[in-house]
Structure 1
């Protein structure tokens, strides 16, 4: 039997393999988990403080994506160690609702990039 001491959640299993996350990788994982909590448009608007936004089930996809980017910015900027002036969030060009969000920011002085599949956060 092998015992491991976990410090700040830096040991994880992925595909039955034990991996050790460095601080930058742990920050990326934490931020992705924060972002993926979007469950639907109402929850999204409530989370960023605008539940009163007029919505009758016909929010345009660009408006929804703008809300999602605002939500992502809030989550990334709330993470300690992120340089707020370095945050860039963009959606890849796509004809449909699929695609990726690309998030770039400096974390503890190092450039960090995250790509999130749009379908993973579509509630």
Structure 2
């Protein structure tokens, strides 16, 4: 049997973005509350009944959150342009050594109704 477990976190951050639509507001420094969910899939370990200890995943996500929360995303090393797509990729990359591996990262902004899902293959 295959199980999928997930853990969510949020962070508040500012950024700028160069774009064609809604350009004026996007070019100025502005902020959002972002939400992220990370999923891991695999079989249960027969010894403990878990795919992955969620406490371990929470610790790892807190380390990722610290890199993003109350930061100017334009200045976060290895993030690139602060898009939802790049945030998904950044989070997945920060968790590349988790086992079983992260198979999905979702980042969204409730206030705007925007979201992005990265299915890690």
Instruction: Quickly name the TM-score band, shorter chain normalised.
Output: 0.3 to 0.5
TM (norm. structure 1) is: 0.38
Is the strand fraction higher in 1 or 2?
A: 2
TM (norm. structure 2) is: 0.38
Is the helix fraction higher in 1 or 2?
A: 1
